[in-house]
Structure 1
Amino acid sequence: MLLERILRFFIVLIMAIVGGTLFELAVPTANAYFTAPLWHEEIAVLGLSPAGLLCILCGTALGGMIGYPLAPFVTGWLRRLSLWVEAQLGKMPTRDVIAGAMGLFIGLIIARLLGDAFFTIPIVGDYIPIVFSIVLGYLGVHIMVRKQQELAEVFDFIPRFFRDMPRVREARVAPQAPAAVRDGQTDRQYKLLDTSVIIDGRIADICETGFLEGTLLIPVFVLEELQHIADSADSLKRVRGRRGLDILQKIRKESRMKVEITEADFEEIAEVDSKLLQLAQEVGGKIITNDFNLNKVAQLRGVSVLNINALSNAVKPVAIPGDLMTVQIVRPGKEHGQGLAYLDDGTMIVVDGGYRCMNEVVSVEVTSALQTAAGRMIFAKLTR
């Protein structure tokens, strides 16, 4: 409320100044001294005649009178504009906002330097800097937002170059392991992603929450498998492969975790999962997967596994017998008279007697819950 009053005051003040300026231009001023009473001479010291001063005062008062009723409309428009800008910025990642601001700053600086060079051109010289500011400001924002990852890698190249120089000879001889492992550093908390968990897509949201720590290590042989799936003649496999590549790109751009690509490969091992297990043993990392069989094999080989299916089941809401729920019966169950409903997280609810309420929203009471390897099942009965 206070800010709105301040804005209204400045709007009235600006309108008053504009009105006084326009009336000053409309009435020629008296710059020469003239014979007048003493109070006329005092006014003439300001460089204005009494008529000119009176016109300026009238214009100021008229501008203020116009600005007072106009101020609420202007403040309302500014409020809506600020809400729209805030909503648009809220949809953008923070790094995009920072990159856009930096691009705008750099573009305006370049526009200023170029504008000074064209300022002396007659007629159009006053307008060229404005055009440069608009065009270069937009280009700066656009380029920085689109190319922020590449620019970050360019500026990060110099410290990495000097840091990795002592390891150039070793990297040429044995490029199979990540740099931290070659230096004897195994405390990087590597997390290795397999193909199935990348295609699943939930790993990107998990990384964004910040629950995972360490470095995501993505082997080249996993990327090659994704590329092979994306190039498959089967349309379903092709879509899955492209989705996996898009998920990796999303993780690199939007995730808070550091992502490394390793050239490590084991040519004597044919299966990708076996290569992944071997690499995890060498770097002392953990495998993130949703593959049930890979989970079991990794446990037998002593490799730590983070199963996102287990994580998903762990964070699902607990259903206690006696709890009331409102669900929609969407399909019949296996047993006679049963109906099936689903929660937002995909948990299946088996409703006894729900078949007669097909496609209806009903209130049910939880009778029991069953945890299986595939997920959680809830059994309930109608309350009416």
Structure 2
Amino acid sequence: MLKKLLRGLLTLIGLVFGYILGEGLLKINYFNLIIAKSGVIQRVLFSILCILVVGLIFFFISPWIVRGITKAMDYFETNMQKVPISEILFGTAGAVVGLFISAMFVSLFPRTSILWTFVEVIICLIVAAFVADISIKKREEIVLFFSNARKVAISKEKKSKVVAKAGAKVLDTSVIIDGRIFDICQTGFIEGTLIIPNFVLQELRHIADSSDALKRNRGRRGLDILNKIQKELNVEVQIYEKDFPEIEEVDSKLLKLAQVMSGKVITNDYNLNKVAEFQGVPVLNINELANAVKPVVLPGEEMIITIIKDGKESGQGIAYLDDGTMIVVEGGRKHIGETLNVAVTSVLQTAAGRMIFAKQKENLSRVQ
């Protein structure tokens, strides 16, 4: 079937060539003078004759041409089966790239003659073959390069998704001075980027430059904490340079920044926490975290404490656990400085912290 199709195609090509040949001969002065005297019919018959003659020539020689084409196809197919598909793909891609590069290069020069056009074709073929050969020889390195680039892109995408999921954490002045943020970051419970606004740094600098010794020490402590976080911890810290000049208060600027960055404010300021809650800004309160991780104490549990001072109400004594939890002991005022065995009567959880109310164990036994 393929041979018949090729033979018919070659015959058709011969007919077309015959028409082109007849038209070309008619343009020659010699043939034009002879045939022009005979009339239009002779011109048409001459064209038909050229078409038939050349068509028949192509028809008779087409078996040899078809045989050569089929042999070339068989040879090409046999050799292509031995070549790996990777070489074919990389060779084709390299040839296309080479043709594109060479075409861009030769287009810079004007075409002055047919000879220069021939030279351009030769240059394009040489460059295409050269790039195809390089692509085949370096195919493993090319695959490795794109594979590594893809892995890097995927890792960056995952990292950006994790950062976006974790969100930015905007640090308040009070939580920086407090210092516990360093320990929390060190444990790895804080995810995402820590944002240090420039206006917070300015406030810390003003506090550190204060004439009041206590304020000066607090400001310097905050700056030291920031330096420790940046140098000692594997946490991304970013300084936010922009300001909100239309807003005067630092707390309001913090909430605005958190809204702009879709982040959260880390603070231990009770009032800022309430304002942020009203404005719908997420807040991570260090005090609430500290209260949440304190050991749970249930009514009826016994503990040994030391009464340190008297309480607000009559007869009350105050003691503290190691984590700073305040214990109010009924009737403990007269035992200041003494170590008592007490039993918990109730626990009060507030935003400021946890308070434990207790009675001396001996007093409890008497009541019971």
Q: Which runs of 4+ in 1 moved over 3 A?
A: 185-188
Letter in 1 for 2:288: A
* TM-score normalized with structure 1 length: 0.50
Alpha-carbon spacing, 1:378–1:283, altered in 2? closer, same or farther (3 Å): same
Match of 2:324 in 1: 346
Match of 2:276 in 1: 298
Instruction: Give per-residue Cα distances to partners, 1:7-34, cap 9 Å, x unaligned.
Output: xxxxxxxxxxxxxxxxxxxxxxxxxxxx
Cα distance in 2 for residues equivalent to 1:356 and 1:188: 52
Residue 321 (str. 1) matches residue 299 (str. 2): yes
Match of 1:310 in 2: 288
Residue 238 (str. 1) matches residue 216 (str. 2): yes
Deviation at 1:188, TM superposition (A): 6.0
Pairs within 5 Å for 1:250-261: 250-261=228-239
- 5+ residue gaps in structure 2? 1-158, 363-368
- Is the 8 Å Cα contact of residues 208 and 255 (structure 1) preserved in structure 2? yes
Which residue among 188, 192, 197 is the counterpart of 2:175? 197
Deviation at 1:254, TM superposition (A): 2.1
- Is the 8 Å Cα contact of residues 186 and 284 (structure 1) preserved in structure 2? no
Deviation at 1:335, TM superposition (A): 2.6
RMSD: 1.9
Letter in 2 for 1:366: V
Aligned-pair identity (%): 66
* TM-score normalized with structure 2 length: 0.52
Which residue among 269, 277, 280 is the counterpart of 2:258? 280
Alpha-carbon spacing, 1:337–1:270, altered in 2? closer, same or farther (3 Å): closer
Cα distance in 1 for residues equivalent to 2:312 and 2:166: 49
Match of 1:269 in 2: 247
Alpha-carbon spacing, 1:284–1:354, altered in 2? closer, same or farther (3 Å): same
Cα distance in 1 for residues equivalent to 2:315 and 2:256: 51
Alpha-carbon spacing, 1:213–1:186, altered in 2? closer, same or farther (3 Å): closer
Residue 334 (str. 1) matches residue 316 (str. 2): no
Match of 1:382 in 2: 360
Letter in 2 for 1:315: V
Cα distance in 2 for residues equivalent to 1:212 and 1:244: 18
Pairs within 5 Å for 1:4-43: none
Deviation at 1:187, TM superposition (A): 4.8
Letter in 2 for 1:252: Q
Deviation at 1:193, TM superposition (A): 0.1
- Is the 8 Å Cα contact of residues 315 and 333 (structure 2) preserved in structure 1? yes
Cα distance in 2 for residues equivalent to 1:256 and 1:353: 50
Cα distance in 2 for residues equivalent to 1:334 and 1:271: 35
Which residue among 336, 345, 350 is the counterpart of 1:372? 350
Which residue among 193, 203, 215 is the counterpart of 2:193? 215
Cα distance in 2 for residues equivalent to 1:188 and 1:371: 29
Instruction: Give per-residue Cα distances to partners, 1:313-367, cap 9 Å, x unaligned.
Output: 1111111111010100111122332211100111111112222322111111111
- Is the 8 Å Cα contact of residues 186 and 283 (structure 1) preserved in structure 2? no
SS in 1 for 2:322: coil
Q: Flag the structure with larger Rg.
A: 2
Alpha-carbon spacing, 1:288–1:353, altered in 2? closer, same or farther (3 Å): same
Alpha-carbon spacing, 1:368–1:218, altered in 2? closer, same or farther (3 Å): same
- 5+ residue gaps in structure 1? 1-179
SS in 2 for 1:246: helix
Cα distance in 2 for residues equivalent to 1:206 and 1:297: 24
Cα distance in 2 for residues equivalent to 1:267 and 1:337: 53
Match of 2:226 in 1: 248
Cα distance in 1 for residues equivalent to 2:279 and 2:329: 42
Cα distance in 2 for residues equivalent to 1:372 and 1:187: 30
SS in 2 for 1:257: coil
Letter in 2 for 1:330: I
Letter in 2 for 1:370: L
- Is the 8 Å Cα contact of residues 166 and 191 (structure 2) preserved in structure 1? no
Cα distance in 2 for residues equivalent to 1:368 and 1:340: 15
SS in 2 for 1:282: helix
Which residue among 330, 339, 345 is the counterpart of 1:361? 339
Alpha-carbon spacing, 1:354–1:263, altered in 2? closer, same or farther (3 Å): same
Which residue among 214, 224, 228 is the counterpart of 2:202? 224
Cα distance in 2 for residues equivalent to 1:275 and 1:186: 22
Instruction: Give per-residue Cα distances to partners, 1:112-149, cap 9 Å, x unaligned.
Output: xxxxxxxxxxxxxxxxxxxxxxxxxxxxxxxxxxxxxx
Cα distance in 1 for residues equivalent to 2:327 and 2:345: 11
Match of 1:173 in 2: none
Letter in 2 for 1:335: E
Cα distance in 1 for residues equivalent to 2:278 and 2:345: 38
Alpha-carbon spacing, 1:364–1:188, altered in 2? closer, same or farther (3 Å): closer
